[in-house]
A and B are shown apart, each in its own frame.
Chain A
Amino acid sequence: MSTTKQFCSFFLEGHTFGVEVTRVQEVLRFQPMTPVPLAPGVVEGLINLRGQIVTAIDLRRRLSLPPRPEGASPMNVVVRTDDGSVSLLVDEIGDVMEVAEETFEEPPETLKGAARELIPGAFKLDRRLLLVLDTDRVISGITATSGATGEG
Chain B
Amino acid sequence: MDQLDEIVLEFLTESHEGLDQMERHLVELEQKPDDKELLKAIFRSIHTIKGTCGFLGFTRLESVTHHGESLLALLRDGLMRLTPEVTSLLLRTVDTVRGILATIEAQGHDGKEDHAELIADLDETIRTHGRRKGEGHGPPADPEPGEVEVATVAEAVADAVAVPASTNGDGGSSVTDSTIRVDVELLDRLMTQVGELVLSRNQILQYAIDVKDTAFQAASQRLNLITTELQEGVMKTRMQPIGNVWQKFPRVVRDLSVSFGKEVRIEMLGRDTELDKTIIEAIKDPLTHLIRNAVDHGIESPEDREAAGKPREGVLRLRAFHEGGQVNIEIADDGAGIDTEAVKHKALDKGLVSPDQVARMTERELQQLLFLPGLSTAKTVTNVSGRGVGMDVVKTNIEKIGGMVDMQSVRGEGTVLKIKIPLTLAIIPALVVTSQGERFAIPQVNLLELVRLEEGIEGLEEIHGVPVYRLRGELLPIVHLDQVLSLHKTKPESEKVDFDALIAAHHAWRSRLDRIIAGDEAVDRSVVTDPAKCALGKWLYGAGKEQFGKLAEWRLLEGIHRRMHESLGLVIDEVEAGETALAKSHLGTVDGLIRETVADIEKLREATLSFQDATIVVLRADDRSFGLVVDEVNETTEIVVKPLGKQLKGIPVFAGATVMGDGRVALILDVLGLAQEASVVSTTGGERHVTGRDAASQLAEEDRDTLLILGVGESQRVAIPIAMVARLEEVPRRSLEVAGEQEVIQYRDSILPLLRLSNLLGSGGTGDDPDNLQLVVYNDDGREVGIVVDRILDIVEDRVAVEKPSDRPGLIGSAVVQGRITDLLDIRSIVRNVHGGAPEFSERTA
Residues of A within 8 A of B (CB): 32-40, 43, 45-48, 51-55, 57, 83-84, 86, 139, 142-143, 152
Contact = CB atoms under 8 A, between A and B. Distances in A.
Nearest to A34: B665
16 contacts: A34-B666, A35-B438, A37-B653, A37-B667, A38-B651, A48-B663, A48-B665, A51-B196, A51-B659, A53-B659, A54-B645, A83-B645, A83-B646, A86-B647, A142-B647, A152-B486
Given A37-B487, A53-B642, 13 more contacts: A34-B438, A34-B667, A36-B654, A38-B486, A46-B644, A48-B663, A53-B644, A53-B658, A53-B665, A55-B648, A57-B647, A86-B645, A139-B647
Interface in B45-94: none
Given A46-B657, A48-B659, A51-B196, A39 B648 contact: yes
A1 B486 CA distance: 58
A139 B647 CA distance: 7
> What are the 8 A-B residue pairs with the smallest beta carbon separation, nearest first?
A37-B485, A55-B645, A34-B665, A83-B646, A46-B665, A142-B647, A53-B642, A53-B657
Given A46-B665, A48-B665, A55 B644 contact: yes
Contacts of B740: none
Contacts of A52: 642
B664 interface: yes
A123 to B, nearest CB: 28
Contacts of B642: 52-53
A135 B667 CA distance: 25
Interface string B726-743: 000000000000000000
A39 to B, nearest CB: 6
A93 to B, nearest CB: 22
A43 B648 contact: yes
Contact of B485 (A32, A38, A139): A38
Interface of B: 196, 199, 438, 485-487, 642-651, 653-654, 657-659, 663-667
A101 B564 CA distance: 80
A47 B659 CA distance: 9
A40 B645 CA distance: 12
Contacts of B485: 37-38
Contacts of B647: 39-40, 43, 55, 57, 86, 139, 142-143
A151 B665 CA distance: 22
A51 B657 CA distance: 11
A48 B657 CA distance: 10
Contacts, number: 72
A37 B483 CA distance: 10
Nearest to B649: A143
B651 A36 contact: yes
A46 B644 CA distance: 9
Nearest to A57: B647
- Residue from the set B487, B643, B648 with the largest chain A CB neighbour count within 10 Å: B648
- Residue from the set B649, B658, B663 with the largest chain A CB neighbour count within 10 Å: B663
A55 B644 CA distance: 8
A40 B667 CA distance: 15
A51 B486 CA distance: 28
Contacts of B666: 34
Nearest to A47: B665
Contacts of B643: 53
A152 B667 CA distance: 18
Contacts of B650: 143
B642 to A, nearest CB: 5
Contacts of B657: 34, 46, 53
A32 to B, nearest CB: 6
- Residue from the set B199, B642, B645, B646 with the largest chain A CB neighbour count within 10 Å: B645
B646 A143 contact: yes
B667 A38 contact: no
Contacts of A46: 644, 657, 665, 667
A102 B665 CA distance: 44
B181 to A, nearest CB: 30
- Residue from the set A36, A37, A38 with the largest chain B CB neighbour count within 10 Å: A37
Nearest to B677: A38
A98 to B, nearest CB: 31
Contact of A84 (B438, B645, B653, B658): B645
Nearest to B200: A51
Contacts of B196: 51
A21 B653 CA distance: 36
Given A53-B657, A55-B644, A48 B651 contact: no
Nearest to B653: A38
Contacts of A35: 438
Nearest to B437: A35
A37 B669 CA distance: 11
A132 to B, nearest CB: 22
B128 to A, nearest CB: 62
Contacts of B486: 37-38, 152
A137 to B, nearest CB: 13
B664 A32 contact: yes
B664 A34 contact: yes
A51 B199 contact: yes
A152 B490 CA distance: 12
Nearest to A84: B645
- Residue from the set B487, B644, B646 with the largest chain A CB neighbour count within 10 Å: B646
A41 to B, nearest CB: 11
Contacts of A39: 647-648, 651
A130 to B, nearest CB: 26
Contacts of B664: 32, 34, 48
A139 B645 CA distance: 10
Contacts of A33: 665
A53 B650 CA distance: 17
Nearest to B663: A48
A58 to B, nearest CB: 12
A55 B665 CA distance: 11
A34 B657 CA distance: 10
Nearest to B490: A35
A142 B647 CA distance: 6
A71 B274 CA distance: 53
B769 to A, nearest CB: 40
Nearest to B658: A53
A152 B665 CA distance: 19
- Residue from the set A45, A48, A84, A139 with the largest chain B CB neighbour count within 10 Å: A48
Contacts of A54: 645
B685 to A, nearest CB: 22
B650 to A, nearest CB: 6
B677 to A, nearest CB: 8
Nearest to A83: B646
